[in-house]
Structure formats: structure tokens, C-alpha cells
Structure 1
Amino acid sequence: MATQTLALPAQPALPTGFKRWIIVITAISAAIVELIDTSIVNVGLTDIAGNLGVTIEDVAWVVTSYAIANVIVIPMTGFLQRYFGRKSYYIGSIILFTISSYGCGFATNLEMLIFFRFLQGVGGGALLSTSQGLIYDAFPASQRAVASAIFGMGIVLGPTLGPTLGGYIIDNYHWSWMFYINVPIGIIATFLSITYIDKKPDEVNINRRGIHIDQIGILLLTVGIGSLQYVLERGEADDWFDDAVIRYLALVAAFTLPFFIWWELRGTKEPVVDLRVMKNRNLTIGSILVVIVGYGLFTSVLLYPLFAQRIVGLTATQTGKLLIPGGFITLPMFALTGRLLAKGVSPRLIVSLGYVAFGSFCFIMSTYNADASDGDFITALIIRGIGLALVNVPLINQSVSTLEPRQMPTGIAIVNMMRQIGGAFGVAITNTYVTQRTALHRSDLVSHLQPGSPALTERLNAMTQGLIAKGVNSFDAVSGAYKNLDAIVSRQALMISYLDTFRLAGLFFVVSFPLLFLLKKKKMSAEAAKAAADAAH
């Protein structure tokens, strides 16, 4: 009797040559554009507020709505890809992101802009979450580290290029071009994705009726994570718990997130996010470390431009140009990281070096003052770029290296969500800490300005005479001298608070450094690497 064998679905051949690099360029471009949009509008909020006739506090919703949509979509990516198929989900997300980008640029009022920014964030979260899987699938298992390094460049370059590009557009064009610039990229990416990206065997004939939809889990995740993200994004601007909305949403997050955890662990057999994977030590520790890295990345992206422009007096374009050398160093460092991992160098060693480099950047920046030169910033930013290149790829790989293949989609989605939440925590902590430390330092500085002090009197007289020499009458010159002194004190207090905040960021890296030694050293198997690719990030 002949033995029958079960025919396995044919695996698609790996793309080679021109097709491989078209897929890689398309995927990495989509990821970079998505990440650029997390920070590009930060330098243009004043212009947007003035053009739409709203306050800075109101226009901050342009940033908040995008971040909330991003962090909600990322952990659900695995489920959404299973339901729609990766290729269809990816192309649909590019189209949504592109149309929403046009809507943002075309917006004539704040409500319209916020609506399209939220939709842009929904599409963008999918681009980030799916691009790595496409890049992974373009390379054989032996070159997964190279694929990770290529994607890692997008993770770092996106937030870095955002303020640079945004500053250039604001200085030379209308703010709407910060969004219109995505449209041609989105159209090209859509065409290339339709033409060159192949469907995987399991997405050719999807039986959606056989896929359980965890509606309660999706609702709890959306409400809980959305509320938490709002509290972190808007807390400082709205005086934290003095604001009724912040108090209400903090209570909502405090109730729904624990309930979400219980529901995913106990309440359903087919959770939208399988939290049981958090029993894995590497994933739990790696997620904590990824939060720190996300905190450091987004804090530096926020704090460096503020320091360069408000303390040193650089323009937005000048501030952006100083980021370029660090970006050029980061690219070969990612390639080097990929090669080191491929040759079997310990990921823990590489991450440790990256941790030291990023911590050094924070402490170097904490020594600068208003006389900092372009060379000072370039040196610090190059060290930062090296640190980020050494940290990102090996840390993510090591976090999921001990997971079973079937756990990869959830594990990688959790790591990505943690990076975004780390960034939100970073922005919230930075804004709050700067505000508190500025008030404290201003009080200390003012206490040293003793009336009748010879040094103070001499300084005020010199400023008064300087204004008189410019044609100001003597009465207004005295008043102007006191206003100038107040501005000098405020600027000095702000500068010291920035230095304190850089030290705080460095301290986070120092305190969390021992956790690196709790990660189990295990090279990801070919089977696990393939599952990581199938997880589509």
C-alpha cells in the first residue's frame, strides 16, 4: 500500500537582485516616513497655530492624536494582518496614510487637521509594524541580522530627520508641505508594493469566518492605551491632576488596563494580544530596556532642538543641519552591527557598548552652556548615533530570541509598543521636569540678586547706558534694563533645567544597565528568525 504524504503549501521564492532592493527601499521608506511624522510637526506648531487662529495648547492635539493612534494600532498588528492578509493590510495602510497626509495639508481648521492626523496615525502604525517583516522576508535566514540592521536605520533616522526636515520646510515654505511631502512617496510606495510584494501562502485564501475577533480585548486595549497615551502627552500642558479630563482618563486607564490584562490572560481563549508571552524573562527584561531606549531617543529628539534654539540661538534649519553628521555615522554603524551579529558576536556586549555611548551623550550634553559651538553638538550627536545603532537591533533580537516561533508576532508587537510608550513617558517626564527645575533655578538665581549689590548695580547701569546710547529715554532705559535682566535670569534658569534633564536621562541608562546581564544569551534559531519575519514586526 502506497504511503500518502501531506503536501505542504509551496513557500514563495526569496526575491533577489533588483526586486529584493525595490522591496527593501519601499519598506524602509514607508517606515522612515511614518517615524518622521512623529516629530516633523513639533517645530511647526507655532506656525500652524497662527495660521489656524488657535492656541499652542490646542494645536498640540496635532501631535497627541497621531501618537494615540500609533500606540493603539501597533499591538493589534498581528491580528489585523491575519484577518486582512499582510500585503492587503500593508497596501491599505499606505493608502490611508497618503490620503490622510493630503487631508492634513488641506485642513482649514483645527478639528479637520486633528481628524486626519488620527487617521494618519492609524495608517502609520501599520507601516512601522509591517515594514520589518517585509525586509526580513527579502533575505535568507542567514542574513536576518543584516535585515534587522537595515530596518534599525529607519527607527533611528525617522525621529532624527523629522525636526531637520520640519525646520527646513517651516523656514522656507508653508507648514502644509510637512504633510504634502508624504503624498508622492505614498503613491510610489503603493505602486511598488502592488507590483513587487508577493502574498504569503497563508494569505491567498483567508477564511475570515474562522478568525475569532476579540472584541472586548480590542475595546479595552483601545480605551486603556488611548487614555494612558493622552495623559502622558497632555499631562504637563494641562497641569496634570488639576485638570478634570486628566483625572478622568487616568482613572479610566487605571481600571481598563488591569481589566485588559485579566481578560487577555483569563477571559478569552483567543486574545488579540497574547500576554502569556510576558512570562518569558528575556521579553520582560527586554521590554523594560526598550522603554528606556525609547525614552532616551524621544527625549533627545525633543530636548536637543530646544537647547540649540532657545539657549544657543540657532535657527531651526541650523539645528537640523547639525544632526546630519550623526546620521551619516549611524548608517555604517547599523551595517557594522548587523555584520557583528551575523558573525556571532554577543548581542549583550553590543547593547552594553551602545548603552555606554548613549549615556555618555546625555552626560556630555549636560556640560554644555550658551557658548556651545557647532562642533560641540556634532560630537555629542555622533556619539548618540553610535549608541542608538548599537542598542536597537541587538536588543530587539535578544528580547524575542528565547520565544517559541508561534509567540514571535505577539512578542515583537509588545516590544514595539513599549518603545512608543517609552517615548511618551520620555516626553511627559522631560516636559514636567524642565518646568519644575526651571521654576526652582529661577528662584535660586533671583535670591542671589541682592538690591544694592555692587555687581548688580554695575550690570544694571551698563545695560541702562547701552539702551540710552541706542536712543531710548532714560526712564524707559531703566525699565528696559530690568526687563533684560529678567530675561537673562529666565534663560539661565531654563538652560540649567535642560542640563538637569540630560543628567536625568543619563541616570536612567545607568540605573537600568545591570538589567542587561539578566538577559539570557541565546542566538535566534533559523526557525525562530523565520517566525520573526512572519510576525511582520
Structure 2
Amino acid sequence: MATSPTPAAQHQPLEGSARLWGTLALSAATFMNVLDTSIANVSLPAIAGDLGVSPNQGTWVITSFAVANAIALPLTGWLSQRFGQVRLFVGSVILFVLASWMCGLAPNMTTLIAFRALQGFVAGPMIPLSQSLLLSSYPKALAGLAMALWAMTTLVAPVLGPLLGGWITDNINWPWIFYINIPVGIAAALSSWAIYRKRESQTRKVPIDKLGLALLVVWISAMQMVLDLGKENDWFHSGMIVGLTVVAVVGFAFFMVWELTDVHPVVDLRLFAKRNFWAGTVTVSIGYGLFFGNVVLLPLWLQQFMGYTATDAGMVLAPVGLMAMVLSPFVGKTVGRVDPRRYVTFSFLVLALVLWMRSRFNTQADFVTIMIPTVVQGVAMAFFFIPLMTITMSGMSQERMPAASGLTNFVRITAGAIGTSVSTTLWESRAALHHSQLAEAVNPSSPATQATLSGLAAAGLTPQQALAQINRLVDQQAFMLAAADIFYLSAGLFLLLIPLVWLTHPQRAAGGGGALDAAAGAH
């Protein structure tokens, strides 16, 4: 760091092939990062079975990545000032490749969760830095095009994630969902370094809020452990869960007080003083938590109780990005002319419709019936992130934009991890309730039970095998009814979020493209 790099603002935009290759390198890294948030979803049953844990314990593979990623986001600003944007970005990509390799080699679930957390943490700076480096590569007049290209990769990745994850799990082996990051990551790191190393941002030593960061790690980790371990340990009848809850609550209280009084807070909570910011952040976070919880639940149900392979489950989920890819450019162009609250209201109405359609599923639902709501959901996703982030960032000064974007994404990703844990926990508890209610109807005096047992006996099953078969059928119905309950509840919650959107006051975002930049970052 002997030489003083050129300030980012003084760099001229890239031209010709350099700009093309720079865009491809940054997009490849972003694609790899976003792909890893969805590629494991359909592989959870295979991973859990191979490592000897329940599929619901397997959801830690998703939540550990999300929580660590959320913790790393607020550090991006400090780290980029300390090491430079290019060095930090390339270093982040290389560490992500190493963490992916270790995830594939993990011999047990504990190790895999630890490596996924590491992978999530080192991935934190990649998305915000890929945005800022991409914007510096294009002239201001083409900033919108740059963000549209960037946003397309973040929409394609969730489409390919479940498909690729399912195909790899069925035809090769689940560790390869992590190994495929290695060639992509190495190519992205080498290309980015070759193109951007002479465009390094200025570095300076700035203080870091060590206590604030420590409190952040403590309360978020404790909260996530409560959510993920609670169902296995009978919730608050367990001393461990009570202890972790106390740690989470006390840690959060101390964190709030410290961050509001520290001169250089790791998370600038004063941003919540702006109505648009707090209402937008709360809305996008709850909406994302509901969305992500249901995205994890659907493939679990299909594979455990509907006989779907990982590939088939991936094909059901893949179309969610198709309509979003088609409609997002239209939303990006018109969001400045149309009240974004109208777009968000439309999005939530469509999401409520999608989840209501899913709540009508039964165990006889065929592939097309299950996929139709997923295609429709893509329409809602196009009108979800960009308008909501435009509202959230409106009226924000340019210098506060990076902190605001980081804080919103931190809350959103944390809400996604909470949504995953809550939906799988609720699914199990509702299934247990439905199972006990259905089992009451299965008794020796019931004509239907007698007829079923006779039929199974005629097929050559012993009485014990016949009862086990009936229990499997009851289980299938119980988990179907439990999934329908969660879909129905989620639909209602999306409708309840609509009034919250109308608490905001839409206005032109400061800095012109700032809201668009932040909107792309929401993906």
C-alpha cells in the first residue's frame, strides 16, 4: 500500500473489450454468489440423508449461509476503505472458492454448516462491490444499462439454481453443487484483477466498531440457534433454548444502545429515523422472509411426501425467474414515472394469489398444477424489489446511500434466514397436529379403515406392514395440510403488508441513479 491509488471518482469509464470482459467477470462472481443461495434448496433431502440428519436440520445449510452473509454486509464499507475495493472484491471471490471447496469435502453436517457460514461471510462484500466496480466501468449516461445487465444475472441465477442443484444431486453427487463454483470463481477473480487492478480505490485506516460488531454476531447467532434448535429441544422447556433466548434479547438491547451512541457504528441505526427508510425496510424484509420461507418449504414437501426427485423439484421452482427477467427492464424504466407504491401493491396481491393457489393443493396435484403458481410468482418478483428499494432509498443523500443499502440488505437477509426457520418449524408442528386429528379417524370400528386393512392384507402385507402403510398415508396428508396452512397464512400476511407500503411518501431519489443501484443490490 505504498502507492496511493487513484480516487474512484477520477477513473475514466472502461471502453471496448475491457468493459465487456469487466462486466462478464463481475457478473460471473455475482451469479456464483446468488446461485449459492438457491442451489442447495432442492438438494437438502439428499445432503441430510447422506450426512445422517433430518431434512429440517438440513435447513441449517441455508440459514448458516444467510446469517453469516448478513453479518458481513455492514463490514463492506470499512473493509473497502481499509484494503481497497478491487483487492477486497478479488480476495472475497478467492476465499469464496476455497470455502466452496471445503463445503464439498465436509464429512458431516456440523462441518458443512461451519464451512457454509464461512462461505456466507466471505461472500458479503461481493455483491455491493460488484455494483460499484460495474458503475465505475460505464459512463453516467449508461448507468441504467449497467444496472440492468447486473440485475439480469441476479435473476437468472435463481432460475438455474434449483435446476442445476437438482440435476447435479440426481446425476452426480451433492458436493458438486459447491465444486462448480471453483472454475467460475477462479476465472472471475483472475479477470477482475487483470482489468481492475489499476483502478484501485483509495485506502485509509478508519476505526471499526469492534464492540458493536461483537454484539451483532452474538445476538444474531443466538437468535438463529433458538429458531433452528427450538423444535428439536421442546422450545422453552429446554434450559439451553431459554439461555440462548436471554443472550439474544440482552445482546440485541446492548447492540441497539451502543450503535445509537457510538461515533463510528458498524450499523447506522439513525437511518431508521426516516419514515420511507424504516417502512420500506420492514416491508421488503417481511416480504422476503415470507417468500424465502415458502421457497425452501415447497421442494422439501415435494421430495419428502410427493415422490419428486431433486431434478423434478428444481423444474417446479425454476420458472419463478422467467417472468421476472422479462418484466424487470419494464419496471426499471417506468418506476420513475409511476408511483412505486402501486407496483408494490400489485406485487403483493399477486404473491397472495400465488400462495392461495398453493394452499389449494392436495396430494393428487400433478406437475403442471404445482408449477403454474411458480410461473405467476415471477410476475410479482419483477414488481417487488426495484419499486420497494426505490421507496426505501428515496430522499437519501448520496453519501448515506452505501450505509442505507447495506443496512436494508442486512435486515432483509436476516429476515430470509428467520423465514426459513419459522416456516419449517411451523410445518412440523402443524403436521403433528393434523396427524393426531387424522389418526383419530383411523380406528378398528371405522369401515374405511377395515376396508383398507383388508385390501392391504389381500395384497400380501402383514398386519404390521398394513398399519405402517396407513401411517405413511396419514403422514402424507398431515404434511400436505400443514403446508397448505403455511401457504394460506403467508397469503394473508402479504395482504396485511400493503397498508405499510402506503405509509411512505414517494419522492425522487437523491443522486439520480442511487435508488436504481440499491434496487439492483436487493436481489
Normalised to the residue count of structure 1, the TM-score between the two structures is: 0.88
The amino acid across from 2:263 in the alignment is K
The answer for the alignment partner of 1:170 in structure 2 is 169
CA distance in 2, matches of 1:287, 1:136: 24
The answer for the alignment partner of 1:317 in structure 2 is 311
Match of residue 410, structure 1, among 403, 410, 413: 403
CA distance in 1, matches of 2:254, 2:501: 31
CA distance in 2, matches of 1:20, 1:326: 30
The amino acid across from 1:492 in the alignment is Q
Q: What does 1:50-69 align with in structure 2 at a 5 Å threshold?
A: 51=50, 61-69=60-68
Matched, 1:464 2:457: yes
Contact 2:19 2:137 in 1 (8 A): yes
Q: Deviations over 1:370-410 (max 9, x none)?
A: 22222222221111111111101121122011212221111
Q: Deviations over 1:232-278 (max 9, x none)?
A: 34333443334444322221121122211111111x21222221111
The answer for the alignment partner of 1:5 in structure 2 is none
CA distance in 1, matches of 2:384, 2:162: 22
The answer for the alignment partner of 2:436 in structure 1 is 443
Contact 1:107 1:113 in 2 (8 A): yes
Match of residue 253, structure 1, among 248, 273, 288: 248
Match of residue 513, structure 1, among 487, 494, 498: 498
The amino acid across from 2:234 in the alignment is D
Q: Deviations over 1:451-487 (max 9, x none)?
A: 323333223222222x23xxx5xxx1x3322222221
Residue 235 of structure 1 aligns to a residue whose secondary structure is helix
CA distance in 2, matches of 1:180, 1:220: 34
Worse overlay, 153-162 or 33-42: 153-162
Q: CA deviation at 1:411?
A: 0.9
Q: CA deviation at 1:10?
A: 5.8
Worse overlay, 392-401 or 307-316: 307-316
The answer for the alignment partner of 1:107 in structure 2 is 106
CA distance in 1, matches of 2:521, 2:367: 40
Q: What does 1:201-240 align with in structure 2 at a 5 Å threshold?
A: 203-204=201-202, 206-208=203-205, 211-240=206-235
Contact 1:153 1:389 in 2 (8 A): no
Gaps of 5+ in 1: 1-7
Normalised to the residue count of structure 2, the TM-score between the two structures is: 0.90
Q: Percent identity?
A: 34
**Structure 1 441/48 Cα, relative in aligned 2: closer, same or farther at 3 Å?**
closer
The answer for the alignment partner of 2:378 in structure 1 is 385
Structure number with bigger Rg: 1
CA distance in 2, matches of 1:526, 1:453: 71
CA distance in 2, matches of 1:425, 1:58: 14
**Structure 1 142/361 Cα, relative in aligned 2: closer, same or farther at 3 Å?**
farther
Match of residue 270, structure 1, among 259, 264, 286: 264
Worse overlay, 74-83 or 139-148: 139-148
Matched, 1:359 2:352: yes
Gaps of 5+ in 2: 1-6
The amino acid across from 2:427 in the alignment is V
Q: CA deviation at 1:530?
A: 8.8
CA distance in 2, matches of 1:361, 1:329: 14
**Structure 1 398/329 Cα, relative in aligned 2: closer, same or farther at 3 Å?**
same
The answer for the alignment partner of 1:350 in structure 2 is 343
CA distance in 2, matches of 1:521, 1:370: 45
CA distance in 2, matches of 1:442, 1:114: 31
Q: CA deviation at 1:117?
A: 2.5
The amino acid across from 2:384 in the alignment is V
Residue 97 of structure 1 aligns to a residue whose secondary structure is helix
**Structure 1 14/245 Cα, relative in aligned 2: closer, same or farther at 3 Å?**
farther
Match of residue 401, structure 1, among 394, 404, 424: 394
Match of residue 292, structure 2, among 277, 298, 314: 298
What is the count of residue pairs matched by the alignment? 516
**Structure 1 233/36 Cα, relative in aligned 2: closer, same or farther at 3 Å?**
farther
Contact 1:329 1:386 in 2 (8 A): yes
Q: CA deviation at 1:423?
A: 0.9
CA distance in 2, matches of 1:55, 1:305: 15
Q: Deviations over 1:202-244 (max 9, x none)?
A: x23x231xx1222211211222222223333433344333444
Contact 2:227 2:421 in 1 (8 A): yes
The answer for the alignment partner of 2:4 in structure 1 is none
CA distance in 2, matches of 1:531, 1:154: 15
CA distance in 1, matches of 2:198, 2:510: 24
Q: What does 1:151-190 align with in structure 2 at a 5 Å threshold?
A: 151-190=150-189
Contact 2:294 2:420 in 1 (8 A): no
